[in-house]
Structure 1
Amino acid sequence: MSHWALHFILKGVASLPLSLAQILGGLGGILAYTFSPHFRGLFQENYHYAMQLHGRTIHPLRAAAASGMLFIDSLWIWHNPQRALQLADVQDWSSVNQAVQEGRGLVMLTPHLGGFEIIPRILATHFPATILYRPARQEWLNDLIEEQRAYPNMHFVPTNLQGVRKMVKALQEGEAIGILPDQVPSGGDGVWVKFFNRYAYTTPLPARLANRNRTPVILFSAIRKSLGQGWIIKAQRLNAFSEDPHQAATQMNEAIETVILEAPEQFIWSYNRYKHPEGAELPPQG
């Protein structure tokens, strides 16, 4: 299938009613789990371990379907931002406003959970937001993502030194920055700490940026409601991070785990969270 054809299909799916798009996404997740050994292998290893660790018994096909819905939610939100905002049930936004009013900017953490792509758009309706992202390896896919993600008051910067400098500048101007905290950083940019009791290479960047000027850090979640009904948006202000990068990354991962366990089937378990990036030191044993 050509890139243009896939581009057209994805846009077509994003144009459907949300409930129908999510059904298709769920079917796609089940098909990937059934027929893709790579998807199923990563999914089973990550999901089963985390569920056993916390005594949960959610059927893997249900979680695989929810994983497919996560991808479709993102497409749908990009294509229908105003409709998506109307379906966002925002809870306790006062904590966000209070943090911003302190005048030191805001560090926004949004793990890959549910309809996470709606969160920066909610923020952007109130104040400017600079979002750190990792460009896709395929040029056509990166072009599609950049085109669809574009939104007023949102600025995307790549995961490099120039992008970090732009985020520092945004914080200095009292604006918000957004980081995906559960994404594996490049070798040399992370630390090995536990995530669901397994060592995962984790970014210390949120803590480093927040500790520069005591910037508030808020962990957001967007948990999917029933089909076509949108998402429940929650915002939790985290305690100040430790100056030690390992302790700070551990604090962050523990907070992310707590949020994920509110709706564990909606997390992106097929992502290789525990990979060893090139250039990174070996993880600790045990």
Structure 2
Amino acid sequence: MTGICNGRVVVITGAGRGLGREYALAFAAEGARVVVNDIGTSLDGEGTDASPAQQVVDEIHAAGGQAIANGEDVADWDGAGRLVAAGIDAFGQVDIVVNNAGIVRDRMFVSATVEEWDATMHVHLRGHFCVARHAVNHWRARHKAGEQVDGRIINTTSGAGLQGSIAQAAYSTAKGGIAALTLVQAVELGRYGITANALAPSARTRMTEQAFADKMAVTEGSFDVQHPANIAPVVVWLGSSESADVTGCIFELEGGRITIEDGWHLGATTDAGKRWKPDDVGEAVHKLIAEQRPARPVWGT
């Protein structure tokens, strides 16, 4: 199997189902060797099951590709190290990390628990950190040895992380943190030949089918806008050598639509040239708000 990722090695977390599965199949179809990582938990992060990852590996093998299954917990520091090492041991190196694994604990903020909050941060934020950090160790060592590195970090944020989502305070916070992490990684790691970008995909998955049932319904007789396979081509291209000049971008993807988010910009500003009096602040702030470009609304409003 040959394609734009021929010979490259990709580690994909949460690759046993949904978006991750489609990424794994698409990378393999383009010649990549794939580490299919999935611990096999329920949607809220409970239990384990090795079969989803192995089923994806079996599909790749049946199509003539190369892949191995891995069941490490991405949020465990040592486990994430073993995950990256598995790719190196099996295929000689790792070139791409796709951080896709996640859980959701939907709850209105007034009812949220600290246990739900911690679990969400653990999988999303710590999971993104641990796997990428071990991959960067690998790439940095190769760079120091004089090798030309062509590394890729592809993170997963969300529309919830970019604009907020009702009943998803923890999930939105974690996904917003991932977007910020991506910007920092892009700036810091470019010197080693590593790019970092993030995805905010809209597609039919276990998470979105529950939260947005009407939007995610299958469209009969026409282009299935919400099919998760629609997201994979952009992810594969970002993992290829062709994307070496693209870093620090947040891609919002849905169906056939590709949007690069505009990011934070300096908004309307006023300067009194002296210390403000409390009584004067309100008028100034309301004037600035009136001049601002309206923000995208929070999901669910």
- TM-score band (shorter)? 0.3 to 0.5
More relative contact order, 1 or 2 (CA 8 Å, 6+ apart): 1
Using the size of structure 2 for normalisation, the TM-score is: 0.33
- Tell me which structure has the larger Cα radius of gyration: 2
Using the size of structure 1 for normalisation, the TM-score is: 0.35
